[in-house]
């Protein structure tokens, strides 16, 4: 145990806290990675068990175990649901610090930089967590600081910034999901891009197969942060005859990435564009939702869809 704690000097201080986890599983109900893969090993509970095992020596330190610790979107929903008050994201951060010092760097959901990087430093300036920096040769990411918000991806003019494991949240995946919904439902009218930090649906024991839902008017697609909502993604549904698009983000001072500020600018710019081409700007809206306030979010969606039904399709 002594040799292990020397290796995990940052994680060691959480030894007692790790033991507080009662393995209830409330955390994974809200985890975007578990929802996407369905694998327990991707859930927060598994990461806590892995961290405890690494610290005690009962889990072998390997690339596979390390990569699980580097896969997290830091949404904090697991902490909010934890019945034992375990500060999971702080534990994951300290585990990452130790792993980096032992030359394990993921990448997991940590942002990376491809060879086509222009070294313009835009991503360095845009990163709200000071995780990206120029080391004299290339733009690199500190895995212990990166919180996988993806803002670097959206600001990179060369498309060099990337997250290897998107778990269904990549721009191209969301656009494809929107297209599939709009072309497969006769009543489809709207796409709702929801920030993971302000909204994420709980697991449901049973749901109707998609093919049996005939009158679905809107689809909620979960984006990891409002800062990742770029104009192209918001406009894509209109190419598939959507009547409207809504973007949801955190309220002011609630977004840990300041992504809501970027989302506001993007949506306002598109609304101005709509005005210039004589399309009702109310067809594209941004709403700010406090974390987890599903009732308010649903009310905003219902009002939006009702207004779209009054406007009718774009002609």
Domain containing residue 129: CATH number: 3.30.70.20
> Tokens at residue 32, please?
């975007």
Q: Say if CB 189 and CB 308 are below 8 A apart.
A: yes
Spatial separation of the C-alpha atoms in residues 181 and 273, rounded to whole Å: 25
pLDDT at 121 over 70: yes
> Tokens at residue 96, please?
């990452």
The reply to whether 285 falls in a domain is yes
Tell which wins on pLDDT, 206 or 87: 87
Place of tokens 């973007």: 247
The pLDDT of residue 32 is: 83
198 confidence band (pLDDT: 50, 70, 90): low
Spatial separation of the C-alpha atoms in residues 26 and 51, rounded to whole Å: 18
List the one residue out of 169, 197, 190 whose CA is nearest residue 289. Answer: 197
DSSP states of 162-217 as a string?
EES--TT-SHHHHHHHHHHHHHH-TT--EEEEEETTT--PPP-S----GGG-----
Residues 149 and 177 in one domain: no
Q: Give the rounded distance of the alpha carbon of 91 from its chain centre.
A: 19
The reply to whether 246 falls in a domain is yes
Residues 207 and 274 in one domain: yes
120 confidence band (pLDDT: 50, 70, 90): very high
pLDDT at 77 over 90: no
Q: Say if CB 191 and CB 221 are below 8 A apart.
A: yes
Tell which wins on pLDDT, 201 or 88: 88
Tell me which of 119, 139, 163 is where a domain ends. 163
Q: Provide the β-strand partners of residue 246.
A: 192, 285
Q: For the residues 87-103, what does the mean pLDDT come to? A: 93
Number of independent structural domains in the chain: 3
Residues 47 and 92 in one domain: yes
Residues 66 and 87 in one domain: yes
pTM of the model: 0.79
For 206-238, how does the pLDDT look when each residue is reduced to its tens digit (9 = 90+)? Answer: 444 544 555 789 999 988 788 888 899 999 999
pLDDT at 46 over 60: yes
Spatial separation of the C-alpha atoms in residues 77 and 80, rounded to whole Å: 5
Spatial separation of the C-alpha atoms in residues 70 and 223, rounded to whole Å: 19
The pLDDT of residue 253 is: 82
200 confidence band (pLDDT: 50, 70, 90): low
Mean pLDDT across the chain: 87
Q: What number of other Cβ atoms are within 10 A of residue 128's Cβ?
A: 16
Residues 292 and 195 in one domain: yes
Range of the domain at 14: 2-101
Spatial separation of the C-alpha atoms in residues 45 and 22, rounded to whole Å: 9
DSSP states of 36-95 as a string?
HH--GGGSHHHHHHHHHHHHHTSS---HHHHHHHT------HHHHH-TT---HHHHHHHH
The pLDDT of residue 287 is: 94
Q: Say if CB 233 and CB 172 are below 8 A apart.
A: no
Residues 143 and 216 in one domain: no
Tell me which of 101, 132, 155 is where a domain ends. 101
Spatial separation of the C-alpha atoms in residues 232 and 132, rounded to whole Å: 25
pLDDT at 123 over 90: yes
């Amino acid at each position: 145990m002594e040799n292990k704690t020397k290796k995990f000097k940052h994680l060691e201080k959480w030894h007692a806290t790790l033991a507080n986890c009662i393995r209830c599983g409330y955390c994974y109900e809200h985890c975007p990675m578990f929802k996407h893969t369905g694998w327990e090993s991707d859930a927060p509970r598994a990461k806590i068990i892995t961290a405890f095992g690494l610290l005690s020596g009962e889990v072998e330190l390997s690339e596979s175990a390390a990569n699980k610790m580097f896969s997290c979107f830091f949404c904090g929903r697991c902490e909010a649901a934890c019945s034992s008050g375990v500060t999971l994201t702080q534990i994951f951060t300290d585990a990452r610090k130790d792993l980096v010092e032992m030359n394990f760097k993921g990448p997991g959901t940590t942002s990376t930089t491809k060879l086509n990087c222009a070294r313009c430093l835009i991503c360095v300036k845009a990163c709200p967590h000071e995780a990206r920096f120029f080391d004299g040769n290339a733009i690199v990411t500190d895995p212990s600081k990166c919180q996988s918000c993806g803002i670097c991806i959206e600001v990179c003019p060369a498309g060099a910034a990337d997250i290897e494991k998107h778990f269904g949240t990549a721009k191209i995946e969301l656009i494809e999901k929107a297209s599939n919904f709009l072309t497969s439902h006769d009543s489809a009218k709207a796409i709702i891009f929801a920030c993971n930090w302000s909204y994420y649906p709980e697991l449901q024991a049973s749901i109707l197969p998609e093919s049996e839902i005939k009158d679905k008017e809107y689809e909620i697609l979960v984006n990891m942060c409002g800062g990742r909502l770029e104009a192209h993604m918001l406009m894509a549904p209109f190419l598939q005859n959507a009547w409207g698009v809504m973007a949801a983000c955190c309220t002011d001072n609630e977004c840990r990435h300041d992504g809501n500020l970027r989302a506001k600018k993007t949506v306002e710019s598109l609304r101005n564009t709509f005005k210039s081409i004589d399309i009702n700007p109310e067809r594209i809206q941004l709403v700010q939702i406090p974390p987890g306030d599903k009732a308010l979010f649903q009310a905003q969606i219902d009002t939006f869809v009702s207004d779209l039904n009054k406007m009718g399709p774009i002609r």
